[in-house]
Structure 1
Amino acid sequence: MKYMLLVCGDDTADASGMAPVGPWAEEHGVRSGVRLHGHRLALPADAVTVRVRGGEVLRTDGPFAETKEYVAGYDVLECDSLEEAVEAAAKHPVAAIGALEVRPYWEDEDVEGAVRRVDAELGRAVQERDLDRMTALYTPDAEVFHPMSGFGQRGADALRKAREWWFSTVDGPVRREVLDLRVRVDESVAFSHALVRTRATLTTGGTLESELRVTTGYRAVGDRWLITHEHASVPFDAGVAGAGTPQERS
């Protein structure tokens, strides 16, 4: 489960003897993998508070509340329990002079499930050779590299043209089998890694069989997850036993 640590500083506290935060971030981020990411925030004097009353936007320079304590930064943790998150927070250097608020994420979203559904929909669209459904799964600025074309496509229009050309080389449905799909998600971005096997009948009468390693990047756009980056690679036959490339069989 994910937890937000709100790192609360105290402008009256003496921070001269506080330990640096870097070692804590390294221990919990690189070594244990509990810390996903985080960042410092500018001082409250740089804040702007916005309210809307009666349709009028009211802007006030400064923080929401006048207090000696303020949110100085944040960290996002992924822990098995609240106790584990509290233990990590207790080791944060700011805990010795300020405070850390540990707050669980709201549990009403299945982001990984949403990402997996995008991949499943892509498989159905490929099988049915439906360009409209395929294109709708990508952001307008998506960047896609596929070794079959040899070039990267930047933007939905270029991607659509490349896929349209590819569909023109095959007859009938395209079988897309996804194996070992692994998904890593965050608040607004996600990545997946998978082995994708594709089989189709070529217009020349032969059979296309390919096995690709595909890395896909997703971005949350409103209430939808869309593909914003896709990179496919094939094994390179450099005389190593067991290496192979996509092949045409007749």
Structure 2
Amino acid sequence: MTDDERQIRALVERWAAAVHAGDMKGVLADHADDIVMFDVPPPHDGVRGLAAYRETWPPFFEWQAQGAVFDLVSLDVTAGDDVAYAHALLHCGTPNDLAAQPENRLRLTLGLRKEEGRWTVAHEHHSFPDTSGSDA
């Protein structure tokens, strides 16, 4: 594992811990001002910019405070000199959600760029697999 891959792994682990703790400052750390995020809840065309990204978290923190979990299960990182990507799987749901679908994982993909020698998240995408059984 390269030093850049270690740095990015540590960044993602810090971010996941901050999400788990409901720590807004930690969630926003290491994110680019012009971040683009596609998330599970609307808006379906994503959010753009750090201020809009910040606005998406309070409802999630409220839901999580009611007993939901957000735990990193696996993480893979690939880093070049100035761009990188990471993909991860997480347990994300209430105890009832996880009991009903124990194999379900939140999928996370991050696009990162190195700015002034520091890695920042420029793109973030969260999704769940479609388990509805439809072929649509």
**Shorter-chain TM band:** 0.7 to 0.9
- Give deviations 1:160-212, integer Å, cap 9, x for gaps: 101122223332676332233111110111001121212457xxxxx554621
* Pairwise CA distance, 1:116: 0.1
User: 1:173/1:218 Cα in 2 relative to 1: closer, same or farther (>3 Å)?
Assistant: farther
Please point out which of 191, 210, 220 is paired with 2:114.
220
2: distance between equivalents of 1:178 and 1:133? 16
CA 1:135/1:174 → structure 2, altered by over 3 Å: closer, same or farther? farther
- TM-score, normalised with respect to structure 2: 0.80
* 1:112 and 2:5 aligned: yes
- Alpha-carbon distance in 1 for matches of 2:21, 2:58: 13
Matched, 1:188 2:66: no
The one-letter amino acid paired with 1:131 is: M
Q: Is the counterpart of residue 153 in structure 1 residue 47 in structure 2?
A: yes
Question: Following the alignment from structure 2 to structure 1, what is the Cα–Cα distance between the partners of residues 108 and 60?
Answer: 17
Alignment of 1:1-250 (within 5 A): 110-151=3-44, 152-171=46-65, 175-200=69-94, 207=96, 209=98, 211-239=105-133
Structure 1 pair 158–143 and aligned structure 2 pair: CA distance change class (3 A): same
- SS of 1:168's equivalent in the other structure is helix
Q: Secondary structure at 1:235's aligned position in 2? A: coil
RMSD value over aligned CA atoms? 2.4
Return structure 1 stretches of 4+ with deviation > 6 angstroms.
Answer: none
1:121-178 Cα distance to aligned partner (Å, 9 max, x none): 0111011101111112210000011113343111110011011222233326763322
2:11 partner SS = helix
Alpha-carbon deviation of 1:238? 4.8
- Matched letter for residue 192 of structure 1: A
Answer whether contact 1:191 1:217 (CA < 8 A) is retained: yes
In structure 1, stretches of 5+ residues that fail to align are 1-108, 202-206, 241-250
Distance in structure 1 (CA, Å) of the matches to 2:15 and 2:29: 10
Count of paired positions: 128
Residue identity in the other structure for 1:181: L
- Point out the structure with the larger helix share: 2
Q: Would the aligned equivalents of 1:128 and 1:173 in 2 still touch at CA under 8 Å? A: no
The structure richer in strand per residue is 1
> What's the % identity of the aligned pairs?
28
Distance 2:111 2:23 in 1: 21
- 8 Å Cα contact 2:20-2:71 kept in structure 1: no
Instruction: List alignment gaps of at least 5 residues for structure 2.
Output: 99-103
Q: CA deviation at 1:234?
A: 1.3
Q: Are 2:35 and 2:122, in contact at CA under 8 Å, matched by a contact in 1? A: yes
User: For the pair shown, which has the larger CA radius of gyration, 1 or 2?
Assistant: 1
- The letter of the residue matching 1:218 is L
Query: Which is worse superposed, 175-184 or 151-160?
Result: 175-184
